[in-house]
């Protein structure tokens, strides 16, 4: 009995262990330096660094490599431990023009506005929603129109 209790306690404590999860991919500093100092083309960058995490939606000449590490304990909300972003900007001829690196220290906290946008319409109670259509459609038959296949 004591052995089963200790096993259960050990398993329950193991379930509370912190887990780290990595999302995305940021290339190592050595490859970044090679790209930054060269006039590499887009295919050469893709071969050296891999495909980007994102391509900027409004400017296809900006490639974004994104990485984030999260720590989570049991069922609690995950905490972001680190975030790295590496940007490669190409000129119109497809050659590297500029590179930039951002970390969590470069980020800014955005607080959403708490207001809501009012919408037009009626605010119905639950009973009005459930019973609102009773009796509305009684005796209103519509004639069938259109081509109806006959056999």
Residue from 58, 23, 29, 55 nearest 42 by CA: 55
pLDDT in tens, 91-125: 999 899 999 989 989 988 889 888 888 888 778 88
pLDDT at position 64, please? 92
The whole-number average pLDDT for the span 2-27 is 76
What is the reported pTM? Answer: 0.61
Task: Label each residue of 26-82 as H, E or C.
Answer: CCCHHHHHHHHHCCCEHHHHHHHHCCCCEECCCCCCEEEEEEEEEEEECCCCCEEEE
pLDDT at position 60, please? 87
pLDDT in tens, 66-97: 999 999 887 888 898 899 999 999 999 989 99
Burial of 49 (0-12, 13-18, 19+ CB in 10 A): buried
**Dihedral angle, C-alpha 15, 20, 24, 30, nearest 10 °:** -150
pLDDT at position 73, please? 85
Average pLDDT, the chain: 82
pLDDT at position 3, please? 80
């Amino acid at each position: 009995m004591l052995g089963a209790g200790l096993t259960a306690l050990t398993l329950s404590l193991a379930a509370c262990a912190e887990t780290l999860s990595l999302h995305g991919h940021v290339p190592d500093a050595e490859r970044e330096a090679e790209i930054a100092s060269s006039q590499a083309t887009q295919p050469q960058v893709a071969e050296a660094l891999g495909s980007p995490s994102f391509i900027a939606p409004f400017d296809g000449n900006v490639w974004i490599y994104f990485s984030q590490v999260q720590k989570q304990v049991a069922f609690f909300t995950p905490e972001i431990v680190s975030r790295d972003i590496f940007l490669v900007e190409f000129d119109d001829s497809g050659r590297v023009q500029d590179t930039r690196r951002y970390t969590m220290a470069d980020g800014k906290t955005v607080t959403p506005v708490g207001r809501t946008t009012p919408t037009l319409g009626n605010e119905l109670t639950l009973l009005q929603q459930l019973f609102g259509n009773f009796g509305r459609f009684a005796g209103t038959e519509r004639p069938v129109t259109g081509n109806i296949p006959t056999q």
